[in-house]
Structure formats: C-alpha cells, structure tokens
C-alpha cells in the first residue's frame, strides 16, 4: 500500500473508531463489539491490491456516514414505559423528514 493510501486508510480507521464512540456512547458492550468489527474489517483487507483500495475507502466513508446519520440510541424508561431517543445534530437534514409505514394497532 502506497504512502498516501496508507495515510487515508489509517485516517478512516481512527474516524470510524471515533464515530462508534459517539454513536454508541454509554453502551460499552456495543462499543466493544463495534470496535472489534472495525479492526477485523481493516485486518481482513490489509493486503488488498492497490487498485481495490479506492473502493474500500469509499465503503468505509459510507459506513461512517451511515452510522453518524442513521443510528439513533434509545433508552428505556421503566417509569413511563417508553423509550427516549438520543437525537444528535447529524440526524437532522434539510427538507422534509421521510416517514415510515404507520404501525397498525390490533
């Protein structure tokens, strides 16, 4: 792996590790598993051919973006029997917020 590619890959590794700390803050078991998965993915690809690296970098950048903008923590409150969502600024976007399919009550 060339010097510039190596710097970019290492930068993405540390970025993903910081992202998992923010996204899964306070959930140590999930943080541990995420950290293990990140390191495993980078180890699996450590001997990748130079021409494969740009696609792998793009995939890692997309994974980081997905985690930051789509993963929301929820915490159960036994007193209210509801969940509280922990929304971060990255979860907001310009324009209308897409909604899912309404739940059916039976």
The angle formed by the CA atoms of residues 53, 58 and 61, to the nearest 5 degrees, is 125
Instruction: Supply 71's token pair.
Output: 């993963």
Query: Burial level of 34, CB count in 10 A (0-12/13-18/19+)?
Result: buried
Instruction: Report DSSP state, residue 23.
Output: H
Instruction: Give the global pTM.
Output: 0.74
- Collapsing DSSP to helix, strand or coil, 82 comes out as strand
pLDDT tens string 14-63 = 999 999 999 999 899 999 999 999 999 999 998 888 899 999 999 999 99
Which pLDDT band, with edges at 50, 70 and 90, does 102 fall under? low
């Amino acid at each position: 792996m060339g010097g510039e590619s190596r710097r970019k890959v290492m930068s993405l590794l540390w970025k993903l590790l910081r992202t998992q700390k923010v996204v899964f803050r306070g959930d140590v078991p999930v943080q541990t598993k995420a950290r293990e998965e990140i390191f495993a993915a980078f180890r699996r690809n450590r001997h990748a051919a130079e021409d494969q690296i740009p696609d792998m970098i793009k995939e890692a950048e997309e994974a980081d973006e997905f985690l930051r903008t789509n993963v929301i923590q929820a915490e159960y409150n036994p007193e209210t029997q509801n969940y509280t969502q922990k929304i971060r600024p990255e979860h907001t976007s310009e324009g209308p917020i897409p909604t899912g399919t309404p739940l059916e009550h039976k």
